[in-house]
Amino acid sequence: MSADKLASRVTSIRVSPSTAAAQKVRDLKAEGREILNLTVGEPDFDTPDSIKEAGIKAITEGDTKYTSVNGTVGLRKGIQHDFKTRLGIDCGLDDICVGGGAKQILFVAMMATVEEGTEVIVPAPYWVSYPDMVIANGGTPVIVPCDETVGFKLTPAALEAAITPKTRWVILNSPSNPTGAAYTADELRALGEVIKRHPQVLVMCDEIYDRIWYADFKVQSILGVMPELRDQALVVNGVSKSYAMTGWRIGYAVGPRFLIDAINKLQSQMSSCPSSISQAAAAAALLGPQEGVEDAVAVYRQRRDRAHELINAIPGLSCSLPDGAFYLFPSCAGVIGKTAPDGKIIESDLDFGLYLLEEAGVASVHGGAYGLEPYFRISTATSMEEIEQACAKIAEAVAKLH
């Protein structure tokens, strides 16, 4: 099929840069190159055995049929319990939708609400898919830079300045991919006061990393802090990152009934329902023992601390300490303008990322992919040995610049 037969919603968006970076690593490895891969956005742990066993039990007991489009009662009770006990959010079972991953929920929520003439406020740095999800649904992403001086977080003043009569959504990702920055209760309350003044504005809270938490303040959600935003807030989460269940593909959200009903209507035409087996496993994850999550977070914290120490020891690079998730987002401003051994000038973070790949065999994702330069993202969802080797090679490569 030639490209002129494709809809503009396809031709106007990019392949995910993080997906493209991961594919580049696979291609190089297939060619025999030794690559230290710091692009991966999924846990390197295995799904806990108790969760696997729940999936196996669902298969052996014949729990392999269609479910309700909004998920099984068992899973929704697990979601309801989690939101109440962890975040202080009260919700009914019909205030919950379930889909094939948090990514699908985010996309379908935009499909239900975004159209031509609609604006979506996207704080930068952002997860790479947000702007393209908006564009794919006919809307306009309004990028609001949030640099290191504001902790990579949206401020109330910046939010107020970005809102127009066309604004439909503002996206809050906490902890953030790529920075790991998370909002405090006071910061969420201040943003919520702005949103409350604009009843046409909805807030999409992507909290997929909120169990991978290191900050000395308690994990918070805007709906827990400001229940009066119940008609304006969609809180999205899932089991992929926290429970090492990326392949099980279960995400979910709590939100106002009109929006949950619209998402369910669209999903009924798209996929009928998520996998019944995966839902059984996800319910076990939410309602079962949490030691596996706690153990993984302890390891992630050690890796974060070590990577943070090693990166900050490299002249020309600097990195803030993430509050959560398993990424670091170092600045490479100190190497921009320097010259590589082959005579090429490092003019951007993309140039720097390509230099690290070729010179050091270290794969990362450049900051421009996340809407803020000059930075690069590295993942600590890999072994301590690989992190230390990669940082050593980065240091060697940077030392060769002049």
Decide: 285 and 239 in contact? Cβ < 8 Å: yes
Closest to 98 (Cα-Cα) out of 284, 292, 255, 289: 255
The structural domains of the chain, with segments of one domain joined by +, span: 3-46+292-399, 49-287
Please compute the mean of the pLDDT values over residues 309-317 and round it to a whole number: 98
Does 3-46+292-399 match 49-287 in CATH topology?
A: no
| pLDDT tens-digit map of 31-90 | 888 899 999 889 999 999 999 999 999 999 999 999 999 999 999 999 999 999 999 999
Distance in angstroms (rounded) separating the CA atoms of residues 393 and 344: 19
pLDDT tier for residue 326 given thresholds of 50, 70 and 90: very high
- The angle that helices 73-87 and 276-287 make with each other, rounded to 10 degrees, is 30
Q: Averaged over 368-378, what is the pLDDT?
A: 97
Mean pLDDT calculated for residue range 135-157: 97
Is the pTM here over 0.75, yes or no? Answer: yes
Q: What percent of the chain has pLDDT over 70?
A: 99
Residue-wise pLDDT tens digits, 161-216: 999 999 999 999 999 999 999 999 999 999 999 999 999 999 999 999 999 999 99
**For residues 356-381, average pLDDT:** 96
pLDDT at 228: 97
Class of domain 49-287: alpha beta
> According to the CATH classification, is domain 3-46+292-399 in 3.40.50.1820?
no
- How deeply is 381 buried, as exposed, middle or buried, from its count of CB atoms within 10 A (0-12, 13-18, 19+)? buried
**Mean of the pLDDT values across residues 294-305?**
98
Query: Quick one: average pLDDT of 333-359?
Result: 96
Pairing assessment for the beta strands 167-173 and 202-206 based on DSSP bridges: parallel
pLDDT of the residue at 60: 98
What pLDDT band is residue 18 in, cutting at 50, 70 and 90?
A: low
Contact (CB, 8 A) for 144 and 124:
yes
